[in-house]
């Protein structure tokens, strides 16, 4: 039997990597707590839940600011530093996933799923073409790209529902509903596949659309889809 996608851990205690120690807890709306005493962390500004008073907040500009602004994407993120702990939570039931990135390692992430990252992780983006990604995959014109720069770092993502991971062998494929994919390794190819439903009276005029991922590499799948253009993030 072909292995099923694996449910990723939903909690972490005293996990240390990339210069930070972090905790993930909570059953419905999880909370990420990070000790930023030794390494700053940048994050989306609207996800701050609480912080120690010694933790300082500043603005961090992103690369390619003009292109991002023209595309309607965020130009700045918020950075936390100082002696203490800061906690983050997104307003939605879901699953926080830590991704450990070594120097030179990269991950491609669907838009609006980024939560936070250590300062050593580079944040860029790329344009994605295809009708499925534009209309069914949410704002999908762009994919966020995160890369470990000079040293190890941590990237935290938020998936709606629960997050599962499928590791594809070379040439192995999996079809995912366009709202269901969360992240992929750079070597994983993503294509839009349109199947016309031709059997039956009422199905004759409809199409069945998926994103097909071809290995080798990891694919993250979220079990719940939230339309970020209509929901309050």
Average of pLDDT values for 144-168? 96
Q: Rounded to 10 degrees, what is the CA torsion of 174, 108, 105, 70? A: 160
End-to-end Cα spacing for the chain = 39
| Sheet (strand 114-118) strand order | 56-61, 76-81, 41-43, 114-118, 153-160, 94-101
Topology of the domain covering 6-161? Double-stranded beta-helix (3.60.160)
Confidence label for 136 from pLDDT (cuts 50, 70 and 90): very low
Model-level pTM? Answer: 0.88
Contact indicator for 184, 122 with CB cutoff of 8 Å: no
Please report which confidence band the pLDDT of residue 139 belongs to, taking 50, 70 and 90 as the band edges. Answer: very low
Task: Evaluate if residue 203 carries a pLDDT over 60.
Answer: no
Average pLDDT score, the chain: 87
- The model's pLDDT over 88-124, given as tens digits with 9 standing for 90+, comes to 999 989 999 999 999 999 999 998 899 999 999 999 8
Predicted local distance difference test score (pLDDT) of residue 233: 39
């Amino acid at each position: 039997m072909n292995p099923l996608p694996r449910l990723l851990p939903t909690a972490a205690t005293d996990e240390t990597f990339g210069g930070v120690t972090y905790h993930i807890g909570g059953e419905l709306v999880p909370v990420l707590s990070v000790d930023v005493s030794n390494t700053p962390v940048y994050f989306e500004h609207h996800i701050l839940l609480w912080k120690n008073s010694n933790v300082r907040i500043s603005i961090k500009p992103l690369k390619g600011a003009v292109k991002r602004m023209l595309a309607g994407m965020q130009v700045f993120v918020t950075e936390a530093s100082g002696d203490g702990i800061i906690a983050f939570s997104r307003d939605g039931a879901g699953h926080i996933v830590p991704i450990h990135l070594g120097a030179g390692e990269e991950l491609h992430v669907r838009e609006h799923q980024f939560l936070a990252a250590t300062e050593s992780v580079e944040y860029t983006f790329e344009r994605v073409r295809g009708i499925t990604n534009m209309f069914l995959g949410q704002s999908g014109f762009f994919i966020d790209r995160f890369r470990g720069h000079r040293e190890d770092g941590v990237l935290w993502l938020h998936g709606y529902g629960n997050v599962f991971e499928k590791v594809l062998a070379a040439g192995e494929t999996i079809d995912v509903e366009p709202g269901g994919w969360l992240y992929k390794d750079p070597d994983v190819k993503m294509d839009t596949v349109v199947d016309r439903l031709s059997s039956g009276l009422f199905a004759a005029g409809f199409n069945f659309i998926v994103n097909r991922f071809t290995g080798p590499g990891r694919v993250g799948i979220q079990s719940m889809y939230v339309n970020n253009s209509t929901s309050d993030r």
